Amino acid sequence: MINPREYIEPGSSWPLGHAVPDQPATHTVKLNINGQDVHLKIEPWVSLLDALREYIGLTGTKKGCDHGQCGACTVLVDGKRINSCLTLAVMKQGCEITTIEGLAKGDELHPMQEAFVEHDAYQCGYCTPGQICSAIGLINEGIANTRDEISELMSGNICRCGAYPHILDAIEQVKGVAGHE
């Protein structure tokens, strides 16, 4: 009998990239992900998104289009939000990469994660990691002040389930608290 909670416990260790045919094109790439160094033997055309999902097993970052059109793959690189599908892994050596898996501190969720749960800022949850990383990136940018501005600057992250008003509620809550600090 399968227990669905099995799937949702964080993996304790990351499986390192599986066997790749030893083609002359593979390089060793060193990435710093969520504060941990990971060595991968991959081809230079592997996107950061595929490196995370298929080689490292960090599947929290989602693929919704692979073309920079949906935002599902948003991660933070040196605190800035980027589409990891439009970035090659090899280009991000020496950067600090933060994915959805790296936001919580142990059992304690990041305030943005808490706010998403509280405001039901999702349905299927597939766009959610991208929305959360994007929202944190947006707050880091410090440009969006009103609800309309947040809405405009969150428009690179599609949510087909249509959770937009709740996503704004969640971001406003986190921004409000952060603003008072």
Partner 1 sequence: MSLLQKLGVSAENLAPEITGKYIGKPISRVDGRAKVTGNAKYAAEFNIGTGILYGYVISSPIAKGKITAVNARQALSQKGVLNVFTHENVPGLAWFDRSYQDQDAPPGGSPFRPLQSDEILFSQQPIALVIAETFELARYASTLVHFEYEVKEELNVGLELNLYKAKKPKKHRFPVPKPRGDAEKALAGSVVKIEEAYYHGYEHHNPMEMFASTVIYGDDDRLTIYDKTQGVLNSQSYVKSVFGLSEDEARVISPFMGGGFGAGLRPQYQLYMAVLASLELKRSVKVVLTRQQMFSFGHRPATLQKISLGASAEGKLQAVINRCYSETSTFEEYTENVVNWSGQMYQCDNVMLDHKLVPLDLFTPLDMRAPGGVTGMYALEVAIDELAVKAGIDPLEFRLLNYAEKDQNLDKPFSSKELRECYRQGAERFGWNKRNPEAGATLEGNNLVGWGVATGCWEANQMPSRAKAMLSADGKLTVSSATADIGTGTYTVMTQVAAETLGVAMEDVLFKLGDSVLPMSPLQGGSWTMATVGSAVKLVCDQLKAKLFKMAKKVENSPFGNSKEEDVVFADRCISLKEDAQQYLTFTEIMRKSKVNYIEEDTTSLPNMLEQNEYSRFTHSAVFVEVKVDQDLGTVHVSRVVNAVAAGRIINTKTSRSQVLGGIVWGISMALHEDTVMDDNFGRFMNTNLAEYHVPVNADINDIDVIFVEEHDDIVNPLGVKGLGEIGIVGVAAAISNAVYHATGKRVRDLPIQLDKLL
Task: Enumerate the H helices of the chain as residue ranges.
Answer: 4-8, 48-50, 111-118, 128-141, 147-153, 164-180
Name the one range near ligand FES by CB under 6 A: 3-11, 28-36, 96-104, 160-168.
Answer: 160-168
Binding mask 22-61 toward partner 1 (x if CB under 8 A, else -) reads: -x-------------------x-xx---x--xxx-xxxxx
Burial 23-46 (b: 16+ CB within 10 A, else e): eeebeebebebbeeebebebbeeb
Closest CA to 136 of 159, 106, 157: 157
Residue 181 binds partner 1, judged by CB under 8 A: no
DSSP label at 47?
A: B
Residue 54 binds ligand FES, judged by CB under 6 A: no
Plot region of 61 (φ>0 → left; ψ -120 to 50 → alpha; else → beta): beta
Residue 160 binds ligand FES, judged by CB under 6 A: yes
Total residues contacting partner 1 (rule CB under 8 A)? Answer: 76
| Residue with smaller CB distance to partner 1, 6 or 181 | 6
Least distance CB 95 / partner 1 (angstroms): 19
| Residue with smaller CB distance to ligand FES, 103 or 154 | 154
Total residues contacting ligand FES (rule CB under 6 A)? Answer: 23
Q: How many angstroms separate the CA atoms of 121 and 143, rounded? A: 22
Interacting positions 90-129 with ligand FES (CB under 6 A): 122-128
Assign 141 to helix, strand or coil: helix
Residue 70 binds ligand FES, judged by CB under 6 A: yes
Binding mask 105-134 toward partner 1 (x if CB under 8 A, else -) reads: ----x---x--xxx-x-xxxxxxxx--x--
Residue 51 binds ligand FES, judged by CB under 6 A: no
Report how many helices (DSSP H) and strands (DSSP E) the chain contains, helices first: 6, 5
